[in-house]
Chains A and B, each alone.
Chain A
């Protein structure tokens, strides 16, 4: 996608207090590493030449998932307009890994950042046709105002970072 789209994505995330880093695939592992607070769990990253940092456990046990401070997952695509990332329900546990830990690091290929919700629904429809028919549009941090004032980090992460792979 165009740099403009990524710029729009970044501005939307800024409003949501979500950090965005744009990195080449070859440097992704090193750039993810300092964002990860241990213990960390993750779902394998399907991008060519990109691996999870060693500190991130895949296929975690239930105990490890519960104890994890950080969850690193790929996302199918992202919607620049709203700063949303599309977390897919996959057998490697991306959905609970993106949800349980206090910090979520979402990794997306730049070519998968689409401009608006309409383009997002086109991508969603493509995925549905391929059998990837359970997806969460996650936008910013988990929040509630039910206890009288706005608080972040309720049932989901209170801290979210997005890594955009500029050459993927």
Chain B
């Protein structure tokens, strides 16, 4: 499949926003809110996540052994295990099981077409099992109501857990009224559900074979675990005499005790329920009698007593374990983590972009949401992942949601990097080549290369401001930027400042002057109060945006620190690598990380604290540097670097006097949108605390992200999605007189949508005040 052009992608996203966005947002954001609530009331949540993660790491590590263990266990129970290499292999095996069953016993129910009932399984979606069986003349009926709606509508899942989430009740009613022509038209969910239950009940009672997936498989007892709320998986497993369970090999866990944390957490992360209605743990063939509704007057228990340990002798059970690329993923150091996924959909629900477009936009051939990039790259190939991988902005909100702590943004970054490297060299490379002394091979999308090297671009633009700003705003230039780099012409471009923060700081006397200012401030406080010797010194990191675009927040940070008695240095420092990472340019980011660490080493040794204003740069240092630098270097950076308001909070907690700052009257309302990556670092709370300490009454936003996400909102194909996400956030705060935001992107997005200034919290707090 060829990748879509920018304009095709823009059209597709616009279409999804209009047709599916509303229903998706309603369901996904509700599940996300319930997850927050349930996570919040689970005392041992972190321990549970850590344990679940450790079990998966161990299980994937010894997967070949577990396959042999489960084979022995299932065979001992009286069932069969088949390891299928790929989709065709699995489908052929299942068709063969169905045909052998009906050849031997005839078909159940009316007619002589073999029939299968299925419970929901993404793995069978992955292998297109239904199409495979239908091609062999086998009737297949989905019994999960959502999956059945899709089967009737000839549609595909838009969410891993709620596959028909994108279809509203009136749309389902219309579809069913047309298809089934009831005496009284369906209208309510109750009527639709009752009809579905009766209709599907008939199919289940008449089925020859029941097919289920498996959420987990306990290797040493051969126990498959099915998690459902409807009860259809139980019914498909218990009713026909033949049961086929199909699951990826990664679903194996060693023992029954390993199952406990997963049973405990999966419903919490998926839907915010404490536990699902039915946690079905079967070690088939089971002792339950088979149900033969063709012989209505026969007792259900007449079929024969269980023979020893072998379950009901009428029962036949097949476990199909699917490889389809998984064993290769296991060998891939970057994709391996994907195999820990328990398919709960929490990464989708917590994703602002997903909430707007759903899995038909943010998804590949089968899987959807953040983790889909790993799954699609592993089972369908990189091309399928490339179709939607850019929808992940790296906001990292899914990192807190994932029950097995998968670093989903990193998987997206890695796959983006691989996709970049697989492209053909494009003709616009000359435009950015001069500006972009990066480590990337040719072939990368020129827009990505431009944004990935934004530091170089900003430096050049600042040096030539304001001419560069006038030029950039000129119509013909915007047209060129849109055609070549994909920068949407509707988006205001950042206004580069001629005097950078670093230059301003030097002009006002540099580090020496800063020390004098800080000492003066401290002595004023000492005179009145006596004991505030804060023996700290700050190195304020001039991130690209603070240094060249939003210089005011940098000045506010310097003044605030000095007023609290802390001297500041603002040296010219290398980029953090955040911009490169967001474009999937890992080699460039790696080099930048090394350079930044080298540049900071002496200051770290001198005991200076590194303070960062832009949360995304701090997040790069605290999270992604794990992948780029030696552990010792990362630990050293992490232990000594702070977000600006977190640092101010620490100063206030250690005796600094807030009266030196611009304080509110104690109840002055402020709407505060923290930054997505800042939240993942657990750094929303310190800003809230500082605002409260300084006499403000902050109200925090609930939207996961602003939608701007660095370069994302500038891109032509994503402009409308970015605005859709941003509008939801803006609607939360539009009534507030004062709105503050920690991220540059968040501020830009707000200023576009609210048409007023939205400063960083530090600008509100700085001496002299923001409005002064």
Chain A interface (Cβ within 8 Å of chain B)? Answer: 59-63, 65-66, 81-82, 84, 89-96, 99-100, 117-118, 121, 124-125, 128, 131, 133-151, 153-157
| Separation of A96 and B241 alpha carbons in the complex (Å) | 13
Contacts of B145 in A (CB 8 A): 144, 146-147, 154
Q: Is B758 an interface residue (CB 8 A)?
A: no
Name the contact of B193 in the complex, choosing from A60, A84, A139, A144 (C-beta under 8 A): A144
B27 to chain A, nearest CB (A): 8
A156 in contact with B292 (CB, 8 Å): no
CB distance A151 to B300 under 8 Å? no
User: Interface digits, B186-224 against A, CB 8 Å rule (1 contact, 0 not)?
Assistant: 001110110011001100110000000000000001010
Cα distance, A166 to B230, chains bound together (Å)? 31
What's the least CB distance linking B191 to chain A, in Å?
9
Is B301 in contact with A93, judged by CB distance below 8 angstroms?
Answer: yes
CA distance A133 to B292 in the complex (A): 24
In the complex, are the beta carbons of B281 and A155 less than 8 A apart?
no
Whether A147 contacts B189 in the complex (CB less than 8 A), given A91-B301, A139-B277, comes out as: yes
Is B288's CB within 8 Å of the partner chain A? Answer: yes
Closest to A90 in B: B287
Given contacts A134-B281, A146-B149, 13 further A-B contacts (CB under 8 A): A61-B297, A63-B293, A66-B293, A89-B288, A95-B286, A117-B264, A136-B279, A142-B278, A143-B277, A145-B162, A151-B193, A155-B235, A156-B278
The docked-state distance in angstroms from the alpha carbon of A148 to that of B192 is 9
B309 within 8 Å of A (CB atoms): yes
A137 in contact with B168 given A91-B312, A144-B145 (CB within 8 Å)? no
Q: Determine the chain B residues whose CB is within 8 A of the CB of A118 once the complex forms.
A: 260
Q: Give complex CA distance A93, B312 in Å.
A: 11
CB distance from B530 to the nearest CB of A (A): 54
Q: Which residue of B lies closest to A96 (CB)?
A: B238
CB distance from A72 to the nearest CB of B (A): 15
Interface residues of B in 259-309 (CB under 8 A from A): 259-260, 263-264, 274-284, 286-289, 291-293, 295-302, 305-306, 309
**Cα(A151)–Cα(B278), bound, Å:** 16
Q: In the bound complex, how far is the Cα of B147 from the Cα of A155, in angstroms? A: 14
A142 and B300 contacting across the interface, CB-CB below 8 Å: no
Contact B275 A82 (CB under 8 A): yes
Residue B431 CB within 8 A of the other chain: no
- Nearest-neighbor residue (CB-CB) of A152 within chain B: B193
Whether the Cβ atoms of A151 and B229 lie closer than 8 Å is: no
Verify A146–B162 contact, CB threshold 8 A: yes
Interface positions of B from 694 to 723, Cβ below 8 Å from A: none
Closest B residue by C-beta to A121: B260
Q: Does B453 contact A (CB under 8 A)?
A: no
Chain A residue nearest to B200 (CB atoms) is A155
Q: How far is the CB of A150 from chain B (nearest CB, A)?
A: 8
Q: Which A residues lie within 8 Å of B188 (CB)?
A: 149
A89 to B284, CA, bound (A): 10
A155 touches B230 (CB 8 A): yes
Query: For B205, what are the chain A residues with a Cβ–Cβ distance below 8 Å?
Result: 66
Residue of A nearest to B197 (CB): A154
Q: Could you tell me if A62 and B234 are in contact, using CB atoms closer than 8 angstroms?
A: no
Residue-wise interface mask of B (563-605) relative to A, using a CB-CB cutoff of 8 A (1 in contact, 0 not): 0000000000000000000000000000000000000000000
A147-B169, A156-B230 known; A117-B263 Cβ under 8 A? yes
Q: Is B528 an interface residue (CB 8 A)?
A: no
**Given A121-B260, A155-B197, CB of A59 within 8 Å of CB of B230:** no
Question: Taking CB as reference atom, which chain B residue is nearest A154?
Answer: B230
* Contact yes or no, B284 A134, CB < 8 A: yes
- Can you show 27 pairs from A to B with CB atoms below 8 A apart? A59-B301, A60-B299, A63-B293, A82-B274, A82-B275, A84-B275, A89-B286, A89-B288, A91-B287, A93-B301, A94-B288, A100-B235, A117-B260, A121-B257, A131-B309, A134-B281, A134-B284, A136-B278, A136-B280, A143-B277, A145-B162, A145-B189, A146-B146, A147-B192, A148-B170, A149-B188, A156-B231
Q: A156 to B149, Cβ gap below 8 A?
A: no
Cβ-based interface call for B232 (8 A): yes
Q: With a CB–CB cut-off of 8 A, which chain A residues contact B275?
A: 82, 84, 117, 137, 139
Q: How many angstroms between the C-alpha atoms of A140 and B274 in the bound complex?
A: 12
Residues on A with beta carbons closer than 8 Å to the beta carbon of B232: 154-155
Nearest chain B CB to A39 CB, angstrom units: 14
